[in-house]
Each structure stands twice: as C-alpha cells, then as structure tokens.
Amino acid sequence: MSVPLDIRPYEAADRDDVVALWTACNLVVPWNDPVSDITLAVSKPNATILIGSEGGRTVASVMVGHDGHRGWFYYLAVDPSCRGRGHGRAMIAAAEGWLVEAGMPKAQLMVRATNQAVVAFYERLGYATGPVTVMQKWLKTDSP
C-alpha cells in the first residue's frame, strides 16, 4: 500500500535530505553547488523549494521561482525507489499552484535535448517546446 505524498514548503532542517535526494537523482553537477542553490532560493520572496514526503521521509522536491513575468522550475527530483507513483506530477502541480498564487501567467523550464525521458514526462503534463533559443554566458571563471 502506497503512503500518500505530503507536499509542504522547505524548512532549514530539510537541507541534508534535499541534497541527498538531488545527488541520488544525478542533479548535482560540479558547477552548481546544491547548498548554495538552496540558500539562494529560500532567501528570496520570489522562490521556494517544495518538499514531498512519504511517512516523514523526503522523497521528492522541486525548486520554483519567478522573475516577475514567468515561473521557472528547477531540481525536480523523485527518489528513484519511488518513481512511477505520480510524485513528479504532484510536485509539478504544486509548483504550478505556487506560481498561480504569485500571479504568474506561465511556467518554463529547461531540459537537455538528449534527456528524452524527461522531455516526454513534461509533454504528458502539457508542456511544449517554445519558439525560443536559450542563450547563456558563464560569468564565473571556474564554470565549465
């Protein structure tokens, strides 16, 4: 029997569990320090991290924020042992709700084009590739 997913805002005591979850989901890369990303997100009024737990254990998360015009999702993670239970869908629905409350008219995210499983996941939720080109420039010299 599956335990229901409880979704709530991040609390400081969640930090180590969230970093461990992101690491287990292969979301941690050398040029993005997860502790710094968490600290930045929870220090701003236009961002948060939502935590999904089962029986008190952190099994899912999503970082959500907005720039005043659109919302963004980062670090959607579901514990590999809990996948296939609808947790990713539930976390995105909660993040979309957070954005609606903030008055944002749309949500955006970035997925590597090679990650077809994640692209397909978002397509099933109604997301589509937009007619834009994402451009970037590394501002820190120690970034790849």
Task: Kindly give the confidence (pLDDT) of every residue in the chain, 144 residues in length, as a single tens digit, with 9 standing for 90 and above.
Answer: 456 899 999 999 999 999 999 999 999 988 889 999 999 999 999 999 999 999 999 999 999 999 999 999 999 999 999 999 999 999 999 999 999 999 999 999 998 888 899 999 999 999 999 898 888 898 877 666
Helix-helix angle 15-24:34-42, to 10 degrees: 130
* 138 within some domain: no
Strand partners, 77: 61
For residues 45 and 112, give the distance between their C-alpha atoms in angstroms, rounded to a whole number.
28
* 62 within some domain: yes
* 38 within some domain: yes
Close Cβ partners of 48 (under 8 Å, ≥ 6 residues apart): 9, 10, 41, 42, 63, 64, 65, 98
CATH number at residue 95: 3.40.630.30
Residue 25 structural domain: 6-124
* 130 within some domain: no
- The structure's pTM equals 0.91
* 140 within some domain: no
Domains identified in the chain, total number = 1
